[in-house]
Amino acid sequence: MRPPARLLYGAGLAAALMLPVAVPAQATSLARTPTALPAADGKKGQELPGMPSALDPRADEVVCTPASEEKAKKQDWSRQRLDLDRLHQHSTGAGVTVALIGTGVDPDAAGLDGRVTAEGTAADDCVGHGTFLAGLIAGTGGNIPRLAGVAPDAKILALRGTDRRGQPSAGLVAAAVREAAEARAGVIAVAVALPRRDKALTRAVAEAHRAGAVVVAAATPDPPARGSADEIPSRTYWPAGEPGVLSVADMLPAGTRPDSALPTGTVDLAAPGAGVVSGGPRGTGHYLGGGVAVATAYAAGAAAVVRATHPEDSAGAVTRRLTATAYPADIPQLDAYAAVTTVLGDSAAPAAGAEPAAETVAVRDTSGTDRATGRATLFVLLGSAGVLAVLWAGFALSRARARGWRPAEAGTPGKG
């Protein structure tokens, strides 16, 4: 029986804490950048440069994120949390194309092995964030196989949803979703979140659903680097808020959302989004990254391995499987291994074209166990009572014999 991934939190968190990060000054992120993480043993751990999600728009000159000269020495907690080593024994996403909409992806990036299709500006990933995410979805890990992505045999269709500095626009995202649908991508991952609904984007998402694609989107943008998320009211972001879109948020090793997370009521799934290791567009080194887009990439990779394993399932059924097999929590937590290997009943698989149900199927239903536990407790109590009754009867019998079978108040036999 597979040990619950929660049991891996301790070892996974220790692995994450062994990888502190230094953010390059040339690549200042407007969104969350990873913070320095001390080693679990209190000593200085390995330093990896941080991967920003955007470059500073105020800078006069665009300076791309430089190549990392550091390589990770350990598998990070997120891959342990998703049980990728065991998952890859069942599915690697072969035959599935994931369209990644973000800052672009370098087709020649290490670990992607020529499985990236990127044309025009989509092949120019100055920020590096899109290539980082592509590694989480479909990277092989290069010389470190345990740093592979969720679906290392899947293909990536890189599409730009941002400008060169990483600033998203509704027009670019809508055009990218349409292009992904026309290319018949099995999974469409939108790594950006827009504050306002856009009619063209709404139509593009509907077209993607009709084309049979699983659309996965970031539930929120990453929070501002300055200020407090508490000052920002809860709202819906797009296209995560569109019907049928799998909305994903980031979580910490403990399964909780970051304190700085932007509030929203439209989250379907949580996935690892802190202290995550992947590569970039330049060099063969590694970076440390986090945020909602990272969690979205992991969910998109999980959708790819599910599609590869269950090719007959509709997009709605794939989405339903991902949420039904998630770990129960305030926000269900992605379990890629369970999504591929769990046998679901007919009630868990919606008909083709149906939207995923709002509630989670109790795949890990414990009600039967609770009832059995209640019955067992009752039997124990009744059994204990029976044993006590027998013991008391034996004690009373021995006392009665000692008194010559007379009541205690009758006195000693032979005396008046």
* pLDDT for the residue numbered 232: 86
Weakly modelled stretches of the chain, pLDDT under 50:
1-45, 347, 349-385, 387-388, 390-391, 395, 397, 400, 402-403, 405-416
* pLDDT for the residue numbered 342: 95
**279 within 8 A of 132, measured Cβ to Cβ:** yes
Q: What CA–CA distances, in Å, run from 87 to 8, 76, 197?
A: 15, 16, 36
Q: Which residue has the tokens 């070892």?
A: 11
Q: How crowded is the C-beta side of 321, counted as CA atoms within 13 Å?
A: 31
SS3 state of residue 293:
helix
**333 within 8 A of 255, measured Cβ to Cβ:** yes
What is the Cα–Cα distance from 362 to 326, expressed in whole angstroms? Answer: 10
Q: What CA–CA distances, in Å, run from 399 to 140, 343, 395, 405?
A: 80, 63, 6, 8
Q: What are phi and psi of 182, to 5 degrees?
A: -65, -30
Number of residues in the chain: 416
CB atoms within 10 A of CB 359: 8
* pLDDT for the residue numbered 350: 41
Pairing of the two strands 276-279 and 97-102: unpaired
- Strand partners of residue 228: none
What is the Cα–Cα distance from 56 to 26, expressed in whole angstroms? Answer: 9
pTM: 0.77
* pLDDT for the residue numbered 244: 97
SS3 state of residue 286:
strand
What is the Cα–Cα distance from 271 to 253, expressed in whole angstroms? Answer: 10
Determine the Cα angle at 373 with ends 370 and 379, to 5°.
Answer: 145
CB atoms within 10 A of CB 147: 24
Q: What is the pLDDT of residues 204-219, one digit of tens each?
A: 999 999 999 999 999 9
Q: What CA–CA distances, in Å, run from 103 to 123, 133, 178?
A: 9, 10, 17
CB atoms within 10 A of CB 265: 10
Measured between its terminal Cα atoms, the distance across the chain in Å is 75
Pairing of the two strands 269-272 and 246-251: parallel
**In the structure encoding, which two tokens stand for residue 221, read together?**
């943008």
